[in-house]
Amino acid sequence: MYMLHHVAAAKPGNPFRIYANFKQLYRGSVKIFLCAVVFFIAPHFSANAQIAGVGAGQTYATLNDAITAINTGALTGSIQLQIRSSSTLSGTAVLNASGTGAASYSSIRIYPTGNYAVTANINGPLLELVGCANVTIDGRLNTVGATYNLTLENMNTGANAAVIRMRDGGSNNIVQNAIIKGAGGSATRGLFTADGAGNMVNIVLQYCRITNSNGNRPYSSFYVNAAGATSSAIFFGNEVYDLFRSDAGTRAVVFTGTLSAGYIMNNHFYETTPVNAISANTYRAVSVEGNNATNVLVQGNFIGGSQVNAGGSAMTFTSASAPQFDAIYISGGTSAAPASVQNNTITNISFQSAKNNLNNIYSPGYFNAIYISGSGVCANIGTVAGNTIGSQTVTGAIQLFPTNTTEYCPAVMIFNDADGTVDIQNNTMGGINSTGPALAKSFTGILNVAAGNTTISNNIIGSVTTAGSINIGPNSDNAPVNELVWGIANLGLGGNKIISGNTIANITQQAVGPNVNTLKHTAGIFLLAGGDVTVDNNVIHHLKSLSNTVVGGEFSSVVGIDVFQNIGSINSISGNRIYELECLNTENLATEVTGIFFKGNNVSSVIRNNFIHGLRLSSSSTAAKINGINIGVSNGIAELSNNVVALGAGITNGYAINGILDGSQEPGNANKFYYNTISISGDMGPGSNSSALYLGSNLPSGRAVINNILVNERNNMMGTASHYGLFVTGTPVLTVNYNDYYTPNSGGVAGYYSGNRTSLPVITGQDANSVIRDPGFVTAGGTNATGYIPANMLAGTVLAGYEPDHIGVVRPASPFMGAFHYLSTLPVAWLDFKLYPSKDRIVLKWSTANEQLSRDFVVQHSVNGVHWKQIGIVAAAGTTSLTSLYQYTDLSPSKTRNYYRILQRDINGKSDYSVIRTVEFGQSAALQLFNNPVTRGLLEFQTKQAAELFLVAPDGRLIWRKQFSAGQHQVSVHALSPGVYYLKSATEVIPFVKK
């Protein structure tokens, strides 16, 4: 027998209190909101103490009877209803608002005293609350603990079927810790539905388990369609499982209407069995719809897997049709009350679909982890706590199986076509595999197609450390359409677009097919956009492709940053690091890898302070190309400054290698190339393809190439290739000066201009102050841009507006060539300072550049590096931009260790010291340190014979242990913090100071 027992309250009133102003609460702090939710979990009721066993009060046969008693005024005040047995209802139990007719109550609380179920088979709700307030359904046994002792189930599959419906206003209604099962509904009806007229404030469904009934699945678990201007709803801590239908689209949680505050937090969405999607439906775990739904927070949810926390086996969708999956869909939010999506985890999913986009790159994918859409919609995605898509450490956390064999099939992790202000930050996406028979399995990490202001910053696409974190499998052998793999892509016109501080790494594309003119293209960042676009301080590395595409240019096999076309007003690409890009295709094809490709517009665009290195090919064709920076045909003016490009190391194939390729041939494109450092190296095997640090083909007049260091050390082991510093075809009128063209090895040529130029000037009538000189890079070939700081400073000329160098050092009035101005505070630039022991004397030699008002050099000596005395003075050159050479001989050095330094003084009283050099006179020491302190990041020493040396920190920690041959050595210590360190051999310990 079913019994529902009324327990008399100790006193009337409304003892249950929650926050009423959710809008203010949300804006204040997420942490405050979490405290409010904890408050919901354990409310205090004045009548709790009287509930024991049977208790006093009336007994009703059904829930309908008890509700009727409330509606007719038989039960009033603070009402508690105990469910003491299971039952089946024949009709909907409809509860009216207090004040409607004879109904008069301050609160109602319904809870079980055992494990009971209330079931029905009604094409309508099991329980309907009409404008009610302060109604709580608590599924815990006697409201204690965290158990699930009450099941509410409606087995009907009709369009109006629901378990609970709240309509036409109401407030502070809560359902918690219940098992909710249902089978019916529609696109506008869920298992728990809140809709109708009036404000619905603080509608809460929390800590429930929500699933289907007898295998018949509903359309939604929680559907809120608010009509009132101050409506709010909470969906918190629930488990939603086995809900997605095979025959129709399913949205697990829907917020729509004029919702002024909504919270979807800490829920778990999972499937214990595979879903076979038999039609082209859309599946969403969270769906916020209509831009009148504002102040919505989606936080801390898990979507995927077969257990809570996205654990167990994968949430699996199989299909021969074309379904679409949007884990989180947002189309609500305004500038004053944006949607917020924070700290959600979307992982452990396997999704199959034949959906295609008819080669439309502006469309969402068949799989979208987070999808933001709508006119004027504003959203913050990961700005407080980033969302996790897939995994940073595990491969295959998301398995995608696109199956369309005729068209373009993209997958997108974050898709935005909302034209309000959208901020996408701190999100990670990786551990993603895309395999299957699809014609073209395209992939984009973050895709923006909207015209609004968009910020994409500090996201990780791929993984910093896990190789092949994103793996896009082979395409169809007969693919006539393009397969595009982009880390971040902006296709939206207008607005301000900021793409900053992102890491795009460890992405592999395996597309290959018989049509070499079909695009199989991978790019870290791809821009086909307008508006003000800024691409700053991104790190792009380990992008690999098996592409056999020979299209080149903007659709090279692999590109770090690809500006396909910019039709906005300003384009800035600065401070990016791009390395380890590789096309793995070994066929005899003219594949191409490019660090930065840029095609501008008719305004000035800036490309500066970028570091590009480690670009590679595997092609057996010598027609293949590697380009550091490629300026494509465009109508704009590109300004390239302070870039460091290092290419060619370890590459023996005879590819064409270009540090900067300037292919913009439009009249009036007065491109500027200032203060760049370009290095090409490597031993080359057979072949005749040239390499060039700057290559311009049939350029229009007006270019300026000034203050660049162009070092081409590529070396012909065989073959007849030429390796140029500057290469210009045609006879354009250019401004070329203050460049260094250092090409010392076999095949090296200073430049090409109407023929090879082995001496200066390269350009007739230009190069008056250019040089051919080894800049003496500190540690060329390394992974740090500072390895290309020159030891030999090369005098440049002032270029207004370009004062900060690659690392932010402000250039003085007498700058150096290249990307770095590594200058001390001396009024001279020290180029070199060395000691030469000879019989009974020691010769000191030093050289300087750019002396300004220098008076003299005071030579100082010490036997312990602490106490110094003056031993000589050498007159200075005064003011000169030329290199000056000096020498001094110490005729009476100590018979043990000797320390030397030079005090430079100028006529205005300014002065500064050189580095300290040391030498062991007489019997040669096994280990000699030449500079102490180390002020420019380069430790210089000499070993008498081959030895193993140790660098030790002040706390005794071993920094490195290396083997050195006999002779002089230079080792970079740029990365060390200032302090005292020890250089040790088997027999000596020499302390030195790193400044």
Alpha-carbon gap, residue 982 to 508, rounded angstroms: 44
Token look-up 């791009």 returns 578
Angle at 371 between CA 368 and CA 372, to 5 degrees: 165
Structural domains in the chain plus CATH codes: 4-39+57-212 (no CATH), 824-923 (2.60.40.2060), 928-995 (2.60.40.10)
> Would strands 454-457 and 496-500 be described as parallel, antiparallel, or unpaired?
parallel
Q: What is the pLDDT of residues 522-533, one digit of tens each?
A: 999 999 866 788
| Total count of residues recorded for the chain | 995
Residue 568, pLDDT score: 65
Tell me the Cα Rg of the chain.
36
Alpha-carbon gap, residue 621 to 307, rounded angstroms: 52
Alpha-carbon gap, residue 249 to 324, rounded angstroms: 9
Residue 22, pLDDT score: 30
Asked whether the beta carbons of 627 and 583 are under 8 A apart, the reply is no
Residue 11, pLDDT score: 32
Residue 67, pLDDT score: 96
Alpha-carbon gap, residue 975 to 204, rounded angstroms: 55
Alpha-carbon gap, residue 398 to 396, rounded angstroms: 5
Alpha-carbon gap, residue 526 to 482, rounded angstroms: 15
Position 501, amino acid? G
CA separation, residue 667 to residues 488, 630, 663, 670, 732 (Å): 32, 18, 12, 8, 11
CA separation, residue 346 to residues 239, 309, 391, 432, 986 (Å): 15, 10, 9, 11, 56
Q: Is the pTM of this model over 0.85?
A: no
- Low-confidence residues in the chain, pLDDT < 50: 1-3, 5, 8-56, 823-826
Residue 633, pLDDT score: 64
Backbone phi, then psi, for 650, in 5-degree steps? 80, 5
Alpha-carbon gap, residue 618 to 596, rounded angstroms: 20
Alpha-carbon gap, residue 342 to 30, rounded angstroms: 10
Strand, helix or coil for residue 309? helix
As given in the structure block, the two tokens for residue 572 are 């800035």
Residue 836, pLDDT score: 83
Distance of CA 44 to the CA centre of its chain: 46
Residue 675, pLDDT score: 97
* Element counts in the chain: helices (H) and strands (E): 3, 84
